[in-house]
């Protein structure tokens, strides 16, 4: 029974003081979620209905491509994580039991599922496989925020594909692309499938499913026929005018001018005519050759270094160089540049600057209060060309300008290759009896993020406006009139008709005023609102409001037969977005 007089729906007039995201504010106010601690949230009954609607859509689509559902534990031994090389990830919760055994709380399940497959798959005849589960994930998130968008505990669907070779992996990957596209379309979200970085998952390639909205922590670069996370996006930089280069660099007095903006303004140049120096040190713990060495990264003055691209270019993590390291190896901070450096400093030059034209750049001179003009890369300093800049508005892809849009990452898919199968011993015997590693893919999607993204994308000034696929109820029935009145009796009869007809209805039978009931109905955001009051008895029809846009629809005749009423409501509901 879903009578509001008996249902747990603790609505609030005010949003939490720390709430910034629309979904955080409205999901708390609408009585869908409640917070226990930083990044720890409880789903209340109506909110959980929304969450499980997303789960049902995901399950149907993964089943349709041959997925087999299972369930793996959150609490796991640490050893598989050590073997995969992921035990030292900062976000991984680590603990010990009373016997001193090292354990982890899983943030993903590659280690677990690969361990099981390694135990049971023997032959090429056992492949391919798609295994999946819905499970709680734990993540030692340093900055939980935005309600259920960034939390320390959450439910995700993870599926994993196992194939004989790269061709099989590609086939399973494309099956998931189709399934994820259909999931996003069925939930009603606006979305982009974008190229992405493999990150801590590792592997050969990845895509993310992004839902655009202002609360998104990610940024997506978009152009006709192109979409990528800015972490990996590539584009042609807008050209910049460079002054003709003299025969050799010329000293320029720049007393006290240490920023690109100050130097450019003083010299009357565009910021892109300068080279910005970004000294970093390879992280000593990375295990890579050259760890601890200083690297000078150069980008145009109007560009920013992309840390993820930089790590990929170097093959190791980095940290910004400290002032004393810069002073000892290069020169005074604020005046450093690439000219005249010894062989001990590796120089990386971003591609946008390496192909900048025939003119010369302004760079630091490695001396106090001085820069150099007319510096030509290649002539005046050696470098390795790399793509390490973050794309920006004004760049182009195939001649088309890009735009940058914030978005929520709802799902991600990875071509893992043999990233986990080799260290965890997952192999099979091929037709000739030779042992070969299994090729894997990993595919995650978050029901909570789907729900929150829907709130973000479709909310209006009155509250939530659910896509019908995710709404907690199809109909919000509002009764006006006290118990024992004819209008209340008519509302009760309509409620029973809808229930027995299979319509999911939330019935507001509370003894409250019309204004309060209507405000809460608009806040909760069910697709249809039916109202039965004195005017309904006079007109012979329940009032009908479509939540999206808050517009009135033709009334529902109360004197019609039960089947006709149910059919009319169902047809109207199915016509909604």
SS3 labels along 271-284 = HHHEEEEEEEEECH
Q: 240 by DSSP, 3-state: which?
A: coil
Over residues 160-173, mean pLDDT: 97
pLDDT category at 532 given cuts 50, 70, 90 is very high
CB-based contact 436:164 (threshold 8 Å) = yes
The token duo for 573 is: 């509901």
φ/ψ bin of 439: left (φ > 0), alpha (ψ from -120 to 50), beta (otherwise): beta
Q: What percent of the chain has pLDDT over 70?
A: 97
Nearest to 238 by CA among 311, 302, 324, 187: 302
The token duo for 399 is: 């001649």
Q: Which residue has the tokens 């713990």?
A: 285
The span from the CA of 334 to the CA of 104, in Å, is 44
Over residues 434-463, mean pLDDT: 97
Q: How far is CA 421 from CA 70, 73, 416, 464, 519, in A?
A: 19, 19, 9, 44, 55
502 class by beta-carbon count within 10 Å (0-12 exposed, 13-18 middle, 19+ buried)? exposed
Q: Which residues pair with 546 in a beta bridge?
A: 528, 551
Query: Dihedrals φ, ψ of 115, to 5°?
Result: -60, -45
Over residues 173-200, mean pLDDT: 91
The span from the CA of 114 to the CA of 419, in Å, is 11
Q: Which residue has the tokens 């993020």?
A: 449
Q: Which residue has the tokens 């001085």?
A: 370
Residue 90 has pLDDT above 80, yes or no: yes
CB-based contact 408:149 (threshold 8 Å) = yes
Over residues 310-327, mean pLDDT: 88
The span from the CA of 153 to the CA of 140, in Å, is 9
Rounded to the nearest 5 degrees, what angle is found at the Cα of 572, between the Cα atoms of 570 and 577? 110
pLDDT of residue 280: 93
pLDDT of residue 91: 94
Least confident among 317-321, 396-400, 505-509: 317-321
Q: Which residues pair with 381 in a beta bridge?
A: 377
Q: Which residue has the tokens 């980008």?
A: 299
Over residues 128-156, mean pLDDT: 95
pLDDT category at 202 given cuts 50, 70, 90 is low
**516 or 329: whose pLDDT is higher?**
516
Q: What percent of the chain has pLDDT over 90?
A: 83
The span from the CA of 297 to the CA of 314, in Å, is 11
Question: Residues of 311-323 as b/e, b for ≥16 C-beta within 10 angstroms?
Answer: bbbbebbbeebee
**501 or 355: whose pLDDT is higher?**
501
pLDDT of residue 342: 78
Q: What DSSP string describes 304-336?
A: -B-HHHHHHHHTS-EEEPPHHHHHHHT-STTS-
Residue 451 has pLDDT above 90, yes or no: yes
Q: Which residue has the tokens 């009423």?
A: 565
pLDDT of residue 204: 74
pLDDT of residue 134: 98
Over residues 234-252, mean pLDDT: 91
Residue 522 has pLDDT above 80, yes or no: yes
Chain center to CA of 555? 41
Q: 216 by DSSP, 3-state: which?
A: coil
Q: Which residues pair with 553 in a beta bridge?
A: 544
CB-based contact 503:449 (threshold 8 Å) = no
Average pLDDT value over all residues in the chain: 93
Task: Give the number of other Cβ atoms within 10 Å of residue 256's Cβ.
Answer: 9
pLDDT of residue 201: 54
pLDDT digit string, tens, across residues 209-231 = 999 998 888 899 999 989 889 98
Which helix (H) or strand (E) segment is 371 a member of? strand 370-375
pLDDT category at 493 given cuts 50, 70, 90 is very high
Q: How far is CA 214 from CA 146, 193, 231, 453, in A?
A: 12, 18, 18, 10
The span from the CA of 143 to the CA of 152, in Å, is 9
Over residues 132-151, mean pLDDT: 94
The answer, yes or no, to whether the previous bond of 269 is cis (omega within 30 of 0) is no
pLDDT category at 297 given cuts 50, 70, 90 is very high
The token duo for 210 is: 């992004």
Query: Dihedrals φ, ψ of 454, to 5°?
Result: -65, -40
pLDDT of residue 199: 64
The angle that helices 447-458 and 45-64 make with each other, rounded to 10 degrees, is 110
pLDDT category at 288 given cuts 50, 70, 90 is very low
Over residues 85-108, mean pLDDT: 96
pLDDT of residue 357: 66
- Side-chain-side CA neighbours of residue 284 (13 Å): 2
Note if the pTM is more than 0.85: yes
pLDDT digit string, tens, across residues 544-553 = 999 998 889 9
E runs forming strands in 38-152: 40-43, 68-69, 75-77, 93-96, 102-105, 129-138
The span from the CA of 144 to the CA of 550, in Å, is 34
CB-based contact 501:571 (threshold 8 Å) = no
**289 or 161: whose pLDDT is higher?**
161
Over residues 500-525, mean pLDDT: 96
Nearest to 569 by CA among 467, 465, 474: 474
Residue 286 has pLDDT above 70, yes or no: no
pLDDT of residue 283: 82
CB-based contact 303:390 (threshold 8 Å) = yes
């Amino acid at each position: 029974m879903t009578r509001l007089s008996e249902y747990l729906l603790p609505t609030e007039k005010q949003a939490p003081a720390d709430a910034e995201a629309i979904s955080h504010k409205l999901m708390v106010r609408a009585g869908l979620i409640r917070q226990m601690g930083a990044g720890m949230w409880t789903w209340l009954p109506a909110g959980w209905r929304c969450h499980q609607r997303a789960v049902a859509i995901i399950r149907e689509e993964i089943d349709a491509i041959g997925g087999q559902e299972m369930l793996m534990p959150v609490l796991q031994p640490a050893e598989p994580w050590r073997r995969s090389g992921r035990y030292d990830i900062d976000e991984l919760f680590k603990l010990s039991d009373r016997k001193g055994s090292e354990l982890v709380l899983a943030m993903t399940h590659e280690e677990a599922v690969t361990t099981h497959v390694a135990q049971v798959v023997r032959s090429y005849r056992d492949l391919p496989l798609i295994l999946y589960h819905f499970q709680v994930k734990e993540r030692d998130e340093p900055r939980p925020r935005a309600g259920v968008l960034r939390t320390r505990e959450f439910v995700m669907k993870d599926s994993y594909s196992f194939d004989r070779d790269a061709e099989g992996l590609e086939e399973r990957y494309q099956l998931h692309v189709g399934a994820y596209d259909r999931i996003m379309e069925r939930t009603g979200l606006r979305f982009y499938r974008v190229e992405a970085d493999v990150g801590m998952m590792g592997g050969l390639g990845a895509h993310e499913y992004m839902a655009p909205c202002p609360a998104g922590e990610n940024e997506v670069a978009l152009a006709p026929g192109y979409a990528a996370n800015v972490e990996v996006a590539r584009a042609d930089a807008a050209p910049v005018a460079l002054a003709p280069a003299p025969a050799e660099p010329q000293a320029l007095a720049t007393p006290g001018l240490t920023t690109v903006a100050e130097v450019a303004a003083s010299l009357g140049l565009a910021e892109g005519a300068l080279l910005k120096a970004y000294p970093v040190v390879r992280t000593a713990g990375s295990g890579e050759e050259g760890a601890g060495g200083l690297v000078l990264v150069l980008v145009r003055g109007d560009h920013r270094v992309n840390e993820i691209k930089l790590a990929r270019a170097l093959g190791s993590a980095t940290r910004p160089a400290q002032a004393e390291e810069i002073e000892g190896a290069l020169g005074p901070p604020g005046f450093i540049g690439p000219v005249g450096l010894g062989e001990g400093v590796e120089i990386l030059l971003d591609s946008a600057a390496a192909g900048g034209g025939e003119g010369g750049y302004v760079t630091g001179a490695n001396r106090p209060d001085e820069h150099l003009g007319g510096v030509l890369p290649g002539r005046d300093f050696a470098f390795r060309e790399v793509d390490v800049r973050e794309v920006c508005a004004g760049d182009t892809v195939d001649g088309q300008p890009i735009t940058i849009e914030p978005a929520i990452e709802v799902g991600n898919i990875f071509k893992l290759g043999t990233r986990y199968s080799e260290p965890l011993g997952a192999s099979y015997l091929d037709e000739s009896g030779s042992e070969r590693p299994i090729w894997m893919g990993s595919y995650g999607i978050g029901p909570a993020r789907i729900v929150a993204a829907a709130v973000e994308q479709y909310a209006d000034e009155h509250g939530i406006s659910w896509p019908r696929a995710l709404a907690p109820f199809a109909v919000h029935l509002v009764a006006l009139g006290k118990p024992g009145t004819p209008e209340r009796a008519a509302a009760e009869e309509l409620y029973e008709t809808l229930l027995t007809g299979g319509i999911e209805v939330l019935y507001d039978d509370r003894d409250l005023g019309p204004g309060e009931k209507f405000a809460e109905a608009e806040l909760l955001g069910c697709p249809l609102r039916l109202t039965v009051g004195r005017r309904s008895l006079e007109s012979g029809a329940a009032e009908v409001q479509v939540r999206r846009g808050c517009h009135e629809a033709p009334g529902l005749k109360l004197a019609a037969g039960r089947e006709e009423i149910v059919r009319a409501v169902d047809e109207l509901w199915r016509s909604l977005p």
